[in-house]
Amino acid sequence: MGEFFQSLAAHSFLRNALFAGLLASVACGVVGTWVVTRRITVIAGSIAHAVLGGMGAAYYLRVVKHWEWLSPLHGAVAAALLAALAIGWMKSRGDEREDTVISAIWSIGIAIGVLFLFLTPGYKTDLMSYLFGNIVMVDAGALRLLVILDAIVLLAAAAFYNPLLAVCFDEEFARLRGINVQFFYTLLLCLTALTIVTLIYVVGVVMVIALITLPVSVAGRFSRKLWQMMLLSALLCGFLTTAGLAISYQPDLPVGATTILLTAVVYAAVSLGAGLHQRMHRRASTTAAADREGDKT
Amino acid sequence: MTAPDVTTVPAVSIRDLWFAYDGPPVLREVSFDLAAGDFVSIIGPNGGGKTTLLKLLLGLLSPTRGSLRVFGRAPDAARKRLGYMPQQISLDTSFPVTAIDIVLMGRLGNGFPAGPFRRADREAAETALRDVEAHDLRNRGFFSLSGGQRQRILIARALASGPDLLLLDEPTASLDPAVQDDLYELLTRLNRRMTIMLVSHDIGVVSKHVRTVVCVSGQVAIHPVEAISGELARVLFHGAEDVKLVRHDQCEGGHPGHPPGTRHATHTTAGHSERR
């Protein structure tokens, strides 16, 4: 791992990768907290896969139709926002088959992606990088985009912390207080969509959900307020992406997969630790209760 | 509660109200008035329309037919004067939120909801917490609190907006009898400055505290609570010992012609529905 830090000074691509991981962690911690507490991780999964369709279409248009100005990222952002708006609009209609449509968007996204990739010559080898991320290929332009996405997420979090908390905690009550629940729910979905696009650059489509939920779940165990959960999960996410990069560097392992497995290990360890702690705590209190019983007799 | 309302405008005024979700009517031919300052319990069997009636008053549902006025206005327009405590916050118990966070939610909707809460909002939330004698819990995690403490926090949230009518959906469900009594004591105290309407299953407990009972089972009739707590309870519920077990067909014999007024019970019959 020491070699990683030496190489960090020498290679700009490694520095870019490090910054990309840290920048993505900010959005991940903030939006992940909303996604987990509002229980829309499946929607996040659906949006993440719809992104693949947008990327495939954009790549096709760029390579085959020579739309040089169009990058896969544009396609990704467009597809993610489109999926978010569609799901938000469906909820506003009170459609009871919400989960069906969410699953449909999921698979249609992949299908479109695969179809366009098939039609685009010479692209197939790059598919792996969109599935599992290509953090070491992030350039300055992508870093700028990550900064912009972070700014949007943080601005929204600062401005609408209270109504978003209310919408996540008790939607009906928020509506009664005159909060435009539909607006804030759709805003939440759009922020989720933008964050997913951010994270795809770090860990890829397949891994997005793990990174947006697991660090947040760990942070949730140590938080009493929503902003604490956001801060803690952003810090944890930053640590995990950095550690994933460092660990995978020398053996030349795929960064995305390494990061996710590291995240899973931390999640499992904390869950296990919490379970043990709870059991011991319970045993301690029952022993204490038994002692009190003993004193009485 | 402003003084003129007590004497002039009824807190709730319903005329020939019908309501159906998709199927048969859940509520039909409902007409009654409730004076401002009253302490009312809505009782009736499961599926009888208690929560539906509450949601109509809140403007979350619209009547299929008929009119419903809250302080002389449409529910939507009167919403600012309503405080609401839902039956259950069905959430994961790991939601990171403290008592004061929740009470502050009662202050939302005063202007465009951007930026942090203002000092006046924070002070109103602190006052609401003192009103329910739970100020010491302000920084505790909500889900680390006991059932009774949680109910107090949710009542404080409803109070934070300074309502004139407090609507509570089964505030004492699944609480110990002693905790229930404490909560009713609190509500009785709050009733000095606002109209209170609560849904309850337990006529035995309710009749000790409220002044008017509204019996809802499709139709509605209103009775003074003295009558409810005495012989009328047995008439209304066909001698059922435990009102919690009352079925649709046991809440019948409405009194649609009964003149509305204070110290009355409202009684509603007919209309079968699985949904509330």
Rounded percentage of chain B residues whose pLDDT exceeds 70 = 76
In terms of pLDDT, which residue wins out, A123 or A286? A286
Contact assignment for A160 to B94 by CB distance below 8 Å: no
Q: Please, which pLDDT band fits residue A208 given cuts at 50, 70 and 90?
A: confident
Average pLDDT, chain A: 86
pLDDT at A288: 62
pLDDT at B44 over 50: yes
Please name the residue of chain A whose CA is at the shortest distance from the CA of residue B102.
A166
Lowest mean pLDDT among A136-150, A257-271, B85-99, B252-266: B252-266
Euclidean distance between CA atoms B38 and B272, whole angstroms: 29
Eight-state DSSP code of residue B74: -
A125 backbone dihedrals φ, ψ, rounded to 5°: -65, -25
Q: What is the mean pLDDT of residues A212-231?
A: 93
Lowest mean pLDDT among A30-34, A274-278, A288-292, B226-230: B226-230
Lowest mean pLDDT among A98-102, A277-281, B90-94: B90-94
pLDDT at B226: 60
Contacts of A164 in chain B (CB under 8 A): none
Contact assignment for A159 to B114 by CB distance below 8 Å: yes
pLDDT at B276 over 50: no
Q: What is the mean pLDDT of residues A146-164?
A: 93
Euclidean distance between CA atoms B195 and B38, whole angstroms: 5
Q: Please, which pLDDT band fits residue A1 given cuts at 50, 70 and 90?
A: low
In terms of pLDDT, which residue wins out, B194 or A145? B194
Rounded percentage of chain A residues whose pLDDT exceeds 70 = 89
User: How close is the nearest chain B Cα to the Cα of A40, in Å?
Assistant: 13
Can you name the residues that pair with A78 across neighbouring β-strands? none
pLDDT at B191 over 90: yes
Q: Between A and B, how many residue pairs show a Cβ–Cβ distance under 8 A?
A: 77
Q: Please, which pLDDT band fits residue A227 given cuts at 50, 70 and 90?
A: very high
pLDDT at A133: 67
User: How close is the nearest chain A Cα to the Cα of B64, in Å?
Assistant: 19
Please name the residue of chain A whose CA is at the shortest distance from the CA of residue B111.
A178
Contact assignment for A179 to B60 by CB distance below 8 Å: no
Lowest mean pLDDT among A35-49, A235-249, B203-217: B203-217
- Whether residue B209 lies within 8 A of chain A, CB to CB, comes out as no
* Nearest to B220, CA basis, from B267, B188, B252: B267
Out of A163, A178, A221, name the one closest to residue B79 (CB). A178
Please name the residue of chain A whose CA is at the shortest distance from the CA of residue B81.
A177
Contacts of A221 in chain B (CB under 8 A): 94
Lowest mean pLDDT among A168-182, B123-137, B205-219: B205-219
Is there a contact between A138 and A255 (Cβ–Cβ < 8 Å)?
no
pLDDT at A200 over 90: no
pLDDT at B233 over 60: no
User: How close is the nearest chain B Cα to the Cα of A281, in Å?
Assistant: 15
User: How close is the nearest chain A Cα to the Cα of B145, in Å?
Assistant: 13
pLDDT at A223: 92
Q: What is the mean pLDDT of residues B133-138?
A: 92
Is there a contact between A37 and A227 (Cβ–Cβ < 8 Å)?
no
Sheet of B65-70: strands edge to edge? Answer: B25-34, B12-20, B65-70
Return the CATH number of the domain spanning residue range B3-267: 3.40.50.300
- Whether residue B97 lies within 8 A of chain A, CB to CB, comes out as yes
* Nearest to A141, CA basis, from A196, A59, A201: A201
In terms of pLDDT, which residue wins out, A163 or B202? A163
Q: Please, which pLDDT band fits residue B57 given cuts at 50, 70 and 90?
A: very high
Q: What domains are defined for chain A?
A: 2-296 (1.10.3470.10)
Alpha carbon of B203 to those of B41, B199, B242: distances in Å? 9, 10, 9
Q: What is the mean pLDDT of residues B201-211?
A: 76
User: How close is the nearest chain A Cα to the Cα of B110, in Å?
Assistant: 8
Contact assignment for B94 to A229 by CB distance below 8 Å: no
Is there a contact between B70 and B164 (Cβ–Cβ < 8 Å)?
no
Residue B117 tokens read as 């809460």
pLDDT at A93: 80
Lowest mean pLDDT among A159-168, A229-238, B199-208: B199-208
Q: What is the mean pLDDT of residues B150-173?
A: 91
pLDDT at B91: 61
Q: Please, which pLDDT band fits residue B215 given cuts at 50, 70 and 90?
A: confident
Lowest mean pLDDT among A50-64, B155-169, B183-197, B217-231: B217-231
Alpha carbon of B61 to those of A185, A245, B11, B270: distances in Å? 21, 54, 18, 20
Region for residue A55 given its phi and psi (left: phi exceeds 0; alpha: psi -120 to 50; beta: otherwise): alpha
Domain ranges of chain B: 3-267
- Whether residue B86 lies within 8 A of chain A, CB to CB, comes out as yes
Euclidean distance between CA atoms B180 and B202, whole angstroms: 11
Contact assignment for A177 to B109 by CB distance below 8 Å: yes
* Nearest to B129, CA basis, from B113, B109, B105: B105
In terms of pLDDT, which residue wins out, A57 or A281? A57
pLDDT at B70 over 90: yes
